[in-house]
Amino acid sequence: MFGLDRATKAAALCTAAAAAAATALLCAPGAVAAPRPIVGGTTTTTTAYPFMMQITDASQNQFCGGTLVAANKVVTAAHCMTGETTSSVRVVGGRTYLTGTNGTVSKVSRIWVDPGYTDATNGDDVAVLTLSTSMPYTPASYVAATSTGVYAAGTTARIVGWGTTSENGGSSDQLRTATVPLVSDAGCRSSYGSDYLASDMVCAGYTNGGTDTCQGDSGGPLLIGGVLAGITSWGNGCAEAGYPGVYTRLTTFSNLVKTQLNS
């Protein structure tokens, strides 16, 4: 299992660094687990999810998702910012298609990464980007630190992203969304052992798999009742039976995010 976990993390790196030739070796066949589909989802638009942002490189190649929480603030995963600087990253709003040229492109003036972050499987997988250009789109509301009850097992959550949709396939050109049930801490621990930190993470997915986030969806939202309550973080492969997706448990980081919004 741990070998597969490493493969998953390598795959995430591979996606995140897709445009950086220096890391091409990490993307060699056999170095990563084959991506499995984000299956079960449907196509959607940034009109339906106006807070859904593409996190891209300077050439506007998407590598992660993000959620607009204020006109100039975007929540994403800390692991999406590994090796990035304010000059290497852009945020694109209002663009349903990866190949689109419409919407609003912003530079990033500040990247805040949770200071405790080391690796997605160690928790603290949260980052807040400050945009140079405000986005003319309705932000998402995010979960309050006290709303810890929203993660009750069985609750339906929504995932959104441009990540890979078929085994060995590429990312989805059009934004996709799906719903997945939240998994109990005990259930997630039985899948991932000590890599699952209930304080910092929450799992979602069907027992039989089939619907999940995948490479390229990281940093995007897990919405519960329409409120941002999680961040796509990691998993063992994608959509595999017995291995739900793992999301940052945002209630734990809500006050930290709030501090960033006001700074």
Using CB under 6 A as the binding rule, whether residue 12 contacts ligand ARG is answered as yes
Backbone φ, ψ for residue 24 (5° rounding): -55, -35
Indicate which single residue of 18, 182, 223, 238 sits in contact with ligand ARG (rule: CB under 6 A).
Answer: 238
Q: What are the respective helix, strand and coil percentages of the chain, to the nearest 5?
A: 20, 30, 50
Using CB under 6 A as the binding rule, whether residue 172 contacts ligand ARG is answered as no
Q: Which is nearer to ligand ARG, 72 or 232 (by Cβ)?
A: 232
Q: Which is nearer to ligand ARG, 98 or 238 (by Cβ)?
A: 238
Using CB under 6 A as the binding rule, whether residue 215 contacts ligand ARG is answered as yes
The secondary element (H helix, E strand) that includes residue 74 is strand 73-76
Strand partners, 111: 129
**How far is the C-alpha of 141 from the C-alpha of 241, rounded, in Å?**
31
Q: Which residues of 229-253 are buried (b: 16+ CB within 10 A; e: fewer)?
A: bbbbbbbbbbbbeebbbbbbbbbbb
Using CB under 6 A as the binding rule, whether residue 248 contacts ligand ARG is answered as no
Using CB under 6 A as the binding rule, whether residue 157 contacts ligand ARG is answered as no
Q: Which is nearer to ligand ARG, 66 or 93 (by Cβ)?
A: 66
Q: Stretches 39-47, 66-74, 111-119, 216-224: which one binds ligand ARG (CB under 6 A)?
A: 216-224
262 burial (CB, 10 Å; 0-12 / 13-18 / 19+) is exposed
Min dist. Cβ of residue 247 to ligand ARG (A): 8
Indicate which single residue of 54, 171, 213, 248 sits in contact with ligand ARG (rule: CB under 6 A).
Answer: 213
**How far is the C-alpha of 205 from the C-alpha of 185, rounded, in Å?**
13
Min dist. Cβ of residue 65 to ligand ARG (A): 8
Residues lying near ligand ARG in the complex (CB under 6 A) are found at 12, 15-16, 163, 212-218, 232, 234-235, 238, 245
